[in-house]
Amino acid sequence: MQFYSTNNKDLRVSFKEALFNSLPADKGLYMPNSIPVLDPEFIRDLHSFSLAEIAFRVAKNILDGDIPDQDLKRIIDDAINFDAPVVKLEDQVHVLELFHGPSLAFKDFGARFMSRVMSHYLQAGEKELNVLVATSGDTGGAVALGFLGVPDTKVTILYPKGKVSPIQELQLTTNGQNIHAIEIDGTFDDCQALVKQAFNDPELKEKFRLTSANSINISRLIPQTFYYFHAYAQLQRQSKTDVIFSVPSGNFGNIGAGFLAWKMGLPVKQFIAATNINDTVPAYLRSGVYQAKPSVQTYSNAMDVGDPSNWVRIMDIF
What amino acid positions are annotated as catalytic residues? 107
Distances (CA, A) of 260 to 108, 123, 210, 300: 19, 31, 26, 25
The closest of 228, 234, 192 to 212, measured between CA atoms, is 192
How far is 132 from 213, CA to CA, in rounded Å?
6
How far is 228 from 210, CA to CA, in rounded Å?
30
Question: Strands 243-248 and 268-274, how do they pair?
Answer: parallel
How far is 10 from 81, CA to CA, in rounded Å?
37
The closest of 197, 214, 193 to 205, measured between CA atoms, is 197
Q: What angle do CA 310, 315, 318 make, to 5 degrees?
A: 135
In which element (H, E) is residue 41 found? helix 40-44
Q: CA torsion, points 86, 89, 94, 97, in degrees to nearest 10? A: -40
Angle between helices 226-236 and 253-263 (to 10 degrees): 60
The closest of 299, 295, 262 to 281, measured between CA atoms, is 295
